[in-house]
Amino acid sequence: MVSVILIFIGAFLFPGIVSITKSKLAGRKGISLLQPWYDFFKLIKKGMIISNTTSIIFQVATVINSAVLFVVMFFIPFSYFQPGIIHFEGDFLLFIYLLALGKFFLIISALDTGSSFEGMGANREALYSLLVEPAFFMIIGTLVLISGNLSFSELFQQLDLNFSSGLLFTVLSIYILLQFILIEGSRLPIDDPKTHLELTMIHEVMVLDNSGIDLAFIELGNALKFSIFSALIANIILAFIPVSYFYAIVVFVITQIILAVIIGVLESFRARLKLIYNSQFILTISSISVVLFLMMLLLKNSF
Amino acid sequence: MEAIFILLFAVSIFYFSISVNVRNYITLLGIQGVLLFLIAVLGLKDINTMHLIFIALETLLFKGILIPGYLLNIAKKNKVTNIKNFKTRRKMKGFYLIIIATLVYIGTIFLGDYLKNSFLDVKIFSAALTAVLMGLIFIVINKNITIHIISFIVIENGVFLLALAVGNEMPMMINTAILLDLFVSVLVLGVFFNKLTYHFKDDTTDILSNLKD
């Protein structure tokens, strides 16, 4: 339960911290930390406009995506102290495919609108998700290899990264998961959440037809997704540097804040990649994760 | 600890595959030089002070600083820091190159495992062979002469690493040969490139296709 609360705190802070970091680095005053949440409640109060061309898929897609993200949160354990609320052998496979289910519904809801722009965005989102998925599988595969368990909770309970190459795994897995967050969260250098040109949009163009409460929950979903993957990073850090229960909570929250600041800094100084280079960039992340997995196989003499 | 640097060396080859800028290639080359030094120092068990100084000079000084610096200077002088008309100059997209590099790396690991030799360090062997094979592929698919020489140095780095993979010591003969190769290739490129650009405005090998009897 602690992990769920911490994930909510992370999701609560994430949009505000990213925005404040970007504003400060650009020399602007910036918004308040709570502004994204004022916007959230404002959107909830607003009515929804649903296009006549859409079917039931468009109406249920956001609900399914949000439900999936809320369920996925329960899989995340609080380091080695508390298992996730839902845990069983092989639960990480359900975790990954539930996320894929949510994305699938968002993609087909974009196609359901009949808009060529949204179809184009859905196409790109599907491609990038396809290319980045092996990276996540490889990271989880490496964790399974090190700990010898098939459940998220047991995996982090028995994950000991205090061996000679533990630092190698920790640093590279954090790098890969950070890139994964940027790609899955549709942020720079793959996608620019602030862009207003439909032709270059990826995620934003998919949700152009969503309004009101649907849009509010899509925004909340993005923040939750960031927080869920940040929680995984925090769990890996805690496996590398074991601390007491209280300090583990502090590490969990600080990791989420630092990652949000890093994303803000990256978005301030990094240019967006040309669309033709996106695929190869994502594939490079997946390739690095394959190399990491193979290297760990060799180091563990499991080949 | 050694594994971290071997892995970073392998990762640098992936970044070679997606780089489209000569400056990035040269930076990666410098990083590879430093990584080679760290791998050699941590990996070699039977090493004396003289040998260590030689390796430090070869990797850290020449491969890590002097050669990248010299190449960057040549590239700047001849205004080839950006690959103009990248599509026409490289025959393969970075996307496919990444797939090839990953498959080559996986293949070399299987090869190392198949050889099952107690003297062979599969971690180093796979990274080294990937560097050699990918260096060859970079030469074949690029038309830019600067990239050719950089790819050649990547192959040399692979050979250096390969020598480390098969024993606890590195023969001085291999070291000297690699250093000589580097001098000849880089100096020849430097001298000829500067002279050639007086006559040819382009640095691609396209002009060679116009040669006739």
Residues A202 and A118: their CA atoms lie apart, in Å, by: 9
Query: Which candidate in B17, B97, B102, B115 is best for mutational testing of the A interface (most A CBs within 10 A)?
Result: B102
Range B174-181, long-range pairs (CB < 8 A, 24+ positions): B175/B54, B175/B55, B175/B58, B178/B58, B179/B58, B179/B62, B181/B156
- B187 CA to chain A: closest CA distance, Å? 33
Residues of A within 8 A of B105 (CB-CB) are: 290-291, 294
Helix (H, G, I), strand (E, B) or coil at A78: strand
Q: Which residues, at least 6 apart from A104, have a Cβ–Cβ distance to it below 8 Å?
A: none
Which tokens in the block code for residue A215? 């849009």
Which tokens in the block code for residue A5? 């609360």
Residues B14 and B130: their CA atoms lie apart, in Å, by: 10
**ipTM of the shown complex:** 0.77
Mean pLDDT, residues B161-165: 81
Residues B151 and B139: their CA atoms lie apart, in Å, by: 6
Residues A72 and A40: their CA atoms lie apart, in Å, by: 21
Q: Give the model's confidence band at B86: pLDDT under 50 very low, under 70 low, under 90 confident, else very high.
A: very low
Residue B178 has pLDDT above 90, yes or no: no
Q: Which residues, at least 6 apart from A183, have a Cβ–Cβ distance to it below 8 Å?
A: A128, A132, A190, A282, A285
Which tokens in the block code for residue B91? 């025959």
- A170 in reach of chain B (CB within 8 A): no
- Report pTM: 0.83
For residue range A99-149, what is the model confidence (pLDDT) as tens digits? 999 999 989 998 888 888 888 888 888 888 888 888 999 998 888 888 888
Of B6, B14, B20, the CB nearest to A288: B14
Higher pLDDT, A149 or A17: A17
Residues B102 and B99: their CA atoms lie apart, in Å, by: 5
Residues A131 and A138: their CA atoms lie apart, in Å, by: 12
For residue range B94-131, what is the model confidence (pLDDT) as tens digits? 788 889 999 999 999 888 888 877 777 888 888 989 99
Q: Which residues, at least 6 apart from B48, have a Cβ–Cβ distance to it below 8 Å?
A: none
Q: What is residue B85's predicted lDDT score, i.e. its pLDDT?
A: 46
Q: Give the model's confidence band at B201: pLDDT under 50 very low, under 70 low, under 90 confident, else very high.
A: low
Q: What is residue A277's predicted lDDT score, i.e. its pLDDT?
A: 83
